[in-house]
Amino acid sequence: MTAYAPPLRDISFALNDLGLLDRVKPLPGCEELNEELAAAVIEEAGKLARDVLAPLNASGDRQGATVENGVVRTADGFAEAYRAFVDGGWPSIPFDPAHGGQGLPWLVAAPAMETWIAANTAWSLGPILTMGAVELLSAHGSEEQKAAFLPKLVSGAWTGTMNLTEPQAGSDLGALKARAVPDGSRYRITGQKIFITYGEHDYTDNIVHMVLARTPGAPAGSRGISLFIVPKFLVNPDGSLGQRNDLRCVSLEHKLGIHASPTCVMSYGDNDGAIGYLVGAENEGLRCMFTMMNNARMNIGLSGLAIAERAYQQALDYARSRIQSGPIIQHPDIRRTLMTMKTLTEAMRAFAYDAASSLDIAKRHPDAAARDAALTRIDLLTPVVKAWCTDCGVEIASLGIQVHGGMGFIEETGAAQHYRDARIAPIYEGTNGIQAIDLVTRKVLRDGGEAARGYIQEIRGASAALDSAKLGPAARLPKRLGQAVDALEEATEWLRRTGVENQAAALAGATPYLRLFGTVAGGAMMAKAAGVAAARLAAAPDDKFYRTKLGTAAFYGDHILPQAQPLADAVINGADSALALEADDF
């Protein structure tokens, strides 16, 4: 497996050249943030990724995690890597200093997360979930709960998990059966949860489980779900650990990839019932849990970007070193493939970071109207970040295998692991089909398309500011982007009109619509990159870095954006054929 090199120059381009860091620097709490500080943080995060996490990626995949009598042991070196992560203060980057956080924006945390995920995806999933647990408790926990759990979670001394799925309740959480019976000020939790990432491990002395369950007499379906904190060890009033709670890991799943990440079957309440503490009010658990899920969706979107970067680096190294009548990178189709990988990765990075900047504005801006506008924007973009980036991540990892040829199908090269590890991301945190449904129903139909139209107008404004005559090889990009935006607008308006009376027809086009949205959003960021690169090259024509940026932007316009109109056609005209067969006809 090729060694990982954090793409610091590309990250800097997205943050600084594209002006994203300038968006968050004026926000309260970011007054001391500047390019130098952000660069220093990300460079050090990259060193942890390169020197500590990446060397464990292949060995962790081969060894995996093991369980014996409920005790889970992670792969050699993983627990030590986690301790280095905690000792460096990395878990606390984006969180409130009141709970021990560093108070840096998510726009700085996102590139750091990218490097850790790219270096070792299986390892990174534990910190990703802990971040989500911190967000959940920060938003919905009581003051007592925050005091008891947040400092430990923010520091990384404890980790957090998300317990939703049950054998009979996957995407349909309304079918879950786990029970929570009141016991004074606490509850006794019983039931089984599956697919619990890092549900048990040897990193920390406590694990804080976020568990969905039903209370007696709760309404049927999703309206009757409550949320509980269920720690592995109970916490005494003085903060020390008390007795072991009534929960255990029954087994570990054997998976296609992420072998080193312990995916647990968890049993709650085999004896007297696991003690849990209600978060928020009864029957409002799903609403509270969505705070954690949306945070995880953004970070899982980053995982699509991260694995794409890792697969590209691997493929590029192989293409340069593999000799077939000269290095295979000389062959036009290999170069086209590498350009596809590189260009999509750059578009994903800019788009995901752009969304992270909106998250910071929504959390920090002093003006309520500005916060609301940013929240509307991030709500719209979250399912696209999650689904488009993870779909592209799988495709790019697959292309990486293709560049290797037959050697890519051999495990020793490492290319296959990237593909296997990438494949879970479109399933995590609500499958990408569910993300597409969310985009269409909650983000387009619910407000009559207002948020989507606002984003479309934003893109149009950015495109209109470009001067084609100055873009050189990317001169066609503004026109291509304009055509793609027209296709997105046409599809959006069709969904808005059709979804009111025929939701099935609208949902039949949800997945191509999300792909269309991501394609256009990525194109908008690449157009912005083209404008910046052209301006830099006007002052320094021989700058290879900016010449490359202009080249990838041109490729996006010529090869990626033309996919927009066929995707719009599938949304608008594809429902009848998609639904032509009844369930019994298959």
Pairing of strands 274-279, 186-197: antiparallel
Please state, in angstroms and rounded to a whole number, the distance separating the CA atoms of residues 59 and 57: 6
DSSP string, 70-128: TEEEPPTTHHHHHHHHHHTTGGGTTS-GGGT-----HHHHHHHHHHHHHH-HHHHHHHH
Nearest to 293 by CA among 248, 358, 227, 348: 227
Q: Are 381 and 514 a contacting pair, CB within 8 Å?
A: no
Output the CA–CA distances (angstroms, integers) from residue 93 to 45, 99, 106, 203, 307, in the order listed: 11, 12, 8, 19, 22
Helix (H) or strand (E) holding 375: helix 368-404
Helix (H) or strand (E) holding 479: helix 477-501
CB-neighbour burial class of residue 198 (10 A; exposed 0-12, middle 13-18, buried 19+): buried
Residues with Cβ within 8 Å of 118's Cβ and at least 6 positions away in sequence, in order, are: 4, 6, 49, 306, 307, 309, 310
Asked about 43 being catalytic, the answer comes back as no
Across 536-572, b (16+ Cβ under 10 Å) vs e yields bbeeeeeeeebbebbbbbbbbbbebbebbbebbbbbb
Please state, in angstroms and rounded to a whole number, the distance separating the CA atoms of residues 353 and 453: 21
CB-neighbour burial class of residue 324 (10 A; exposed 0-12, middle 13-18, buried 19+): exposed
Output the CA–CA distances (angstroms, integers) from residue 16 to 13, 23, 317, 497, in the order listed: 5, 10, 27, 40
Tell me which of 135, 200, 429, 489 is the catalytic residue: 429
Chain centre distance of CA 313: 20
Output the CA–CA distances (angstroms, integers) from residue 494 to 181, 184, 509, in the order listed: 47, 53, 10
Please state, in angstroms and rounded to a whole number, the distance separating the CA atoms of residues 96 and 136: 13
> Which residues are known catalytic residues?
429
